[in-house]
Amino acid sequence: MSQLKEAILSTTAKGDKAFIPYIMAGDGGLEKLQPTILKLQELGVTAIEVGIPFTDPVADGPTIERAGERALANGTTLRKVIETLTSFSEHIKVPLVAMTYLNPILAYGIEKFSEDAKLAGIKGIIIPDMPLEERDIVYTALKANDIALVQLVSLTSTPERIERLTKASEGFIYAVTVNGITGARSSFASKLEEHFKKIQEYSDTPVLAGFGISTPEHVKSFSDFSSGVIVGSKIVDSLVANDWATIEELVKASKVATVK
């Protein structure tokens, strides 16, 4: 079992829900990466999704896109993020999940990237512009370095596809909760619960909800039918504002004390 899945299952075993914050590496400078990760870790997050900026982030909404632009302006690259993470990897206790578009990995070299990422504490990876059909390009190298390849399942995925995706997904299953791109939203489609049940049918891999989750209420509401949540845009905004209270509230909403 991947370390990522293990971490999530041990969280849910306690009755808590998994909470994975997304941060954009290099937003505010790469020197912020270490303190941010360590502080999130202290708050008791299950894992941390580390976003790598890209020039053409088609799957991202405005908040993360702007964060990416700021990170690029600071000279952030995949290589530098890996180097920075490696420099304090002995302090990293929670699994890191890299979220990067495919092209920076291709430019890095898939094998070299996988090896270096392992040393940097990366246990899982999300490549939003690489659907299941194309995963052969990276899969062997990732596998060899114990990096779980997380699949996204969308509301528009057909039942046949949901089955294939959930069976293939490693670490956890990233269930996209809205049609579209990342970003905070006020409401969700009502049929979500049904959708999540369907997703969980085919695999024991935990299902996490992502895209548009921005309040403790959202976090709680998804707890009813998922193993936890991924929160992106709201975390990115809060980090820019240095608003740790909000982040703490969000994390707290995933804990057993508040869930029940």
Partner 1 sequence: MTTEVKGRFGRFGGQFVPETLMTALKELEEAYDKFKNDESFQQELRYYLKNYVGRETPLYFAERLTEACGGAKIYLKREDLNHTGAHKINNALGQALLAKRMGKKKIVAETGAGQHGVATATACALLNLECIVYMGAEDVKRQALNVFRMELLGTKVVAVEKGSATLKDAVNEALRHWVTNIDDTHYILGSALGPHPFPTIVRDFQRVIGDETRAQFLELENRLPNAIVACVGGGSNSIGMFYPFVQDTEVALYGVEAAGQGIETGKHAAAIQGGQTGVLHGAFMYLLQDENGFVTEAHSISAGLDYPGVGPEHCHLHETGRAIFDSVTDDQALEGVKMLCRTEGILPALESSHAVYYASQLAKTMSPDEILVICLSGRGDKDVHTISAALGGDLA
Catalytic option among 16, 27, 49, 170: 49
> Closest CB to partner 1 among 114 and 157?
157
Residue 168 in contact with partner 1, rule: CB under 8 A: no
Dihedral sign for Cα atoms in the order 77, 100, 71, 29? negative
> Closest CB to partner 1 among 156 and 242?
156
Residue 142 in contact with partner 1, rule: CB under 8 A: no
Tokens encoding 237: 């905004």
Dihedral pair phi/psi, residue 135, rounded to 5°:
-70, -15
C-beta separation of 235 from 250 below 8 A: yes
Residue 77 in contact with partner 1, rule: CB under 8 A: yes
CB of 21 to partner 1, least distance (A): 21
C-beta separation of 97 from 171 below 8 A: yes
C-beta separation of 63 from 237 below 8 A: yes
Q: Which residues pair with 98 in a beta bridge?
A: 50, 125
Alpha helix locations (H) across the chain?
3-13, 33-43, 62-73, 78-87, 102-108, 110-119, 136-144, 159-168, 192-201, 216-223, 233-240, 244-252, 256-259
> Closest CB to partner 1 among 73 and 256?
73
> Of 86-94, 173-181, 236-244, 248-256, which part binds partner 1 (CB under 8 A)?
173-181
Q: Is 49 a catalytic residue?
A: yes
Dihedral pair phi/psi, residue 124, rounded to 5°:
-150, 165
Question: Position of tokens 């619960």?
Answer: 193
Interface with partner 1 (CB under 8 A), residue from 69, 115, 163, 193 = 69
> Closest CB to partner 1 among 48 and 130?
130
Residue 136 in contact with partner 1, rule: CB under 8 A: no
Q: Which residues pair with 182 in a beta bridge?
A: none
CB of 155 to partner 1, least distance (A): 8
Residue 158 in contact with partner 1, rule: CB under 8 A: yes
Residue 105 in contact with partner 1, rule: CB under 8 A: yes
- Active-site positions read 49, 60
The residues of the shown chain that bind partner 1, judged by CB under 8 A, are: 54-59, 61, 65, 69, 72, 77-79, 101-108, 128-134, 151-158, 161, 165, 176, 179-181
